[in-house]
Structure 1
Amino acid sequence: MSMKTLVNVVTNVALLSGLVFSGIAYADQQRVDERLEVPADVFVKIENMRGDVRISGTDENYAEVKGELDKYATGLTFTLDGSTLSIIVDMEERNNFSGDEATDLSITLPRSAKLSVEGVSTDFWVNDFNSDVRVNSVSGDLEAQNVTGNIRLNSVSGDVQGKNLAGTVQMKSVSGDILDRSNKATTVSYGSTSGDINAASTASEVTAETVSGDIELALDEVKELELRSVSGDAEAYFVLLNNGRVTGESVSGDVALAIRGNVNAKVSAQVSGGGSIVNRLSDARAEESRWGIGASLETTIGSGSGVIEVTTMSGDIRLTKN
């Protein structure tokens, strides 16, 4: 058998047995540069398996996609059907995607476009929109800046960050941290299972909940504030509006409320299973439980128009003027 024949035989056997390296099977990442004229209020559906996607708003009525597709991508769906635009990175049907050659896209859309964004292990950045925005990722980080509208940011194991958000805002992560700065929303909700929540907002209605993380909120004038924590501490700094309501619940964690300005509220604080109550809002003192393992405080401050209710189990309560 000649050497040429032997090489051909070996090559054919390798091909038949599937031993050819994946580098031979996959070409370089495909570059894309696409543009469409779209309505100003277009609804945009964006889907990507993995990688980085940056989405920016513009005052012009066009949609543009630039960058590189995942090496396992079979193509890009970029179609306008009526008032709905689809931007989807089409992937092979497989369970394992290895390597670093993931999607890296920059997308430009009208500032008033409504967004529905989905990813698996994709990091998303969303900037400069005046519209409804929904972003979901399984293991990717999310960041939104300068967005006004109905905003929902959700990640399972990634961090969620916001800056200069306004309207109605919801930020959630299961095992990631939440960081929000210069929030100007009217209503805001933060939730994390095993991550910390750190936020500064002028919203008058605020909810923050975490299971094994800490909560720290710097707020303005509050009408409604709800704090819930398990195995973590919760701190909030705010002004309590007349007729405002604040509730705090913690298990195995402390609750600290620092209130600026005048306080007019009925105050109820309960500690059980060990812990103490420190009240610096008035001269009223907490009463220890007859069993010696808890304490309670019931008092009215000023006109009593508002409500402050705090309960902890195995944690301390601090009520102070900031």
Structure 2
Amino acid sequence: MKHYLVVTGLVFAMSQAWAAESINESRAVAANEKIFIENMRGYVEIRAVDAKEFKVSGTLDEKADGYTLESKNGFTTFKVKMPTFNNFNGGDNDQGSKLTIDVPKGAELEFQGVNSDVTVKGIQGSTKITSVNGKVDASALRQFVQLQTVNGEIDSRDNQGKVSISTVNGAIKDTGSAGRLELDAVNGEISSSTTAKEVRVSVVNGEADLKLDGVEQLSMSAVNGGQEAQLKNSLSPRVDVSTVSGGIKLTLEKNISAKFNLVANAGGSIRNNLTSDKAERSKYGPRSSLEFSTGKGEGNVEMSTVSGSLKVDTF
């Protein structure tokens, strides 16, 4: 009986040691505070507020060794401290910290997570979000916006400025972005509806579906994947697209004014539904090409493929 009591007491003590710790801390900070947040696993919601205050509330990861919060000279750092031995199940984002963090809307924010989902909204300074195995939900961000995951999805809404979004083994959904936009996916899919003037898209082993309104410069590349782009209100764009073992389709305005140069190598194909011009096959090797102009030829459209397909069409 004594041995039983000892074991029971030990189990109770361990469960107490792993109990989640509540947190409710705040600091007065500058309107343009540089803020760094680190959370290994769980869920973090970051909100922009009008107050010059950094505030964090919620519960820490039950296996955390507490936290650090330092604020000095315009820099604030908050970290959830985790044990170094890492012999716990870190892959479940439903476990871990559950935090709500308020920051000034003019702050510059950087967040790092491992198995951590994050929602961030309304920051007007700059935002950099990095998570290894987590989802990113980001909206109404301004200036410099960088969203990255390795194994996770990214949902980007109404972000403006220089916006860069990338994922490996995940998907990107972008709506309402403006300014300059970069989208990169490996083993994933991209969908975007944007008014960005400059757009660059790269896909490896995936697909991209783009609805572009008023784009002036477009760069697209695909390897073992396909891309479709609709260019509305773009009458003289500058476009450079390429694909290897994949297809690219451009849907353009009927009254577009541009010079076109399309090249297909190694058995690739070219289909032109914009004009009556037809591709010509090379006398030497499996190569075909097509050059033509529309309107005054003010824009420029360069398309190339290796073992893939190129298509231009109209709305």
Shorter-chain TM-score: what band?
A: over 0.9
Amino acid at match of 1:191: D
What is the distance in 1 between the residues matched to 2:106 and 2:181?
21
Quote how far apart the aligned CAs of 1:291 are.
Answer: 5.7
Quote how far apart the aligned CAs of 1:27 are.
Answer: 3.4
1:154 alignment counterpart: 148
| Preserved CA contact (<8 Å) 1:223 1:240 | no
The alignment status of 1:101 with 2:95, answered yes or no, reads yes
1:316 alignment counterpart: 309
Q: Pick from 256, 260, 265: which aligns with 2:258?
A: 265
Q: Deviations over 1:135-157 (max 9, x none)?
A: 11111111101111100001111
2:137 alignment counterpart: 143
Larger Rg: 1
Q: Pick from 98, 111, 120: which aligns with 1:117?
A: 111
Q: Deviations over 1:61-90 (max 9, x none)?
A: 111111110011111212211101111111
Quote how far apart the aligned CAs of 1:240 are.
Answer: 6.8
What is the distance in 2 between the residues matched to 1:257 and 1:11?
69
% identity of equivalent residues: 32
Amino acid at match of 1:41: N
Amino acid at match of 1:263: I
Structure 1 residue runs of 5 or longer lacking an equivalent are none
What is the distance in 2 between the residues matched to 1:23 and 1:176?
37
The alignment status of 1:38 with 2:29, answered yes or no, reads yes
2:49 alignment counterpart: 58
Quote how far apart the aligned CAs of 1:21 are.
Answer: 8.9
What is the distance in 1 between the residues matched to 2:256 and 2:314?
9
2:211 alignment counterpart: 218
| Preserved CA contact (<8 Å) 1:266 1:308 | yes
Q: Deviations over 1:234-272 (max 9, x none)?
A: 111114756531011111111100012521111111112
SS at 1:281 equivalent: coil
TM-score by structure 2 length?
0.92
What is the distance in 1 between the residues matched to 2:259 and 2:168?
34
Amino acid at match of 2:109: L
Q: CA RMSD in A?
A: 2.2
Amino acid at match of 2:50: D
SS at 1:107 equivalent: strand
2:185 alignment counterpart: 192
Moved more, 265-274 or 234-243: 234-243
| Preserved CA contact (<8 Å) 1:138 1:157 | yes
TM-score by structure 1 length?
0.90
Aligned residues, how many? 312
Structure 2 residue runs of 5 or longer lacking an equivalent are none
